[in-house]
Structure 1
Amino acid sequence: MTQTPTRVNPTPEDLVTPTVFDGVLIPLSALVEARRTTDRPRIEGLTFRNCVIQGPAVLVPNSTTTFESCNLGEAAGDRRNLFLKAVGPMIIGGLSAAGCQFESCVFLGVGFAGNEAMIEQFVGHLAAGGAQA
């Protein structure tokens, strides 16, 4: 069963230094912008627990990014609506998330992009109860 954060604190002022975010609102645009001007420009190796992850955005998780007990957001009755399939070898304009962990998070206005195999695996994970749409 997916847990939803019961209390979410405002977005922290420092979105660059922490590697773990717990119980906070994370607007993906603010996270990317804050990190872009530093020596940590990517969403990489971060852990998000009990957070609300806010779009609008398209997240491109790699094979080492995990989603446990997350609510992926409103899918208008069909979980496939959350996913965008890459038709070429690259995804331009999406936010790469490499080696991140999302635990008990809620996603608002976020889509997920990848190749067909990634999407099939993700949809299978949803069907098995690993995350919720």
Structure 2
Amino acid sequence: MAQPFPTQTDATVERSDTPAVLSLDDDETRGVIEALSSETAYDIFRLLNETPATPSRIAAQLDQSVQNVHYHLENLESAGVIEVTDTCYSEKGREMSVFVVSEDPTLLFLGTEDDRPSLKRAFKAFASLLGPPSILLAAGESLSQFITGE
């Protein structure tokens, strides 16, 4: 029997070629660092970088409660690193948001606004070789290691 509501999404992760560059003196930087600072939030971000997902799917894959996942999704969305891309429905007919990483990749560097022009040129060249998701993951991994001290 056919489902009256779509329970799966066909959303894909599409990224632009130009990253947003955040520096230490940028107002958005603190929000991004705080949103990615917990291990759960970081794991959610990495999962969404691979494939779009609903909160319940994320919770199941990461062995977390849906409430905990919702908390981190709200923080990540407020920081602008993820966004809702689609809606699908549970088997019970409940509407569920489908989250993905933000269309514009974000690059965080430990410099100031004055350092941006030369850094932006260097990373544009680097991005064309590796692709924006690789740069974002590398920056996120470095940030994670810096925060956790590992």
TM-score where L is the length of structure 1: 0.24
TM-score where L is the length of structure 2: 0.22
Q: Which structure shows the higher helix fraction? A: 2
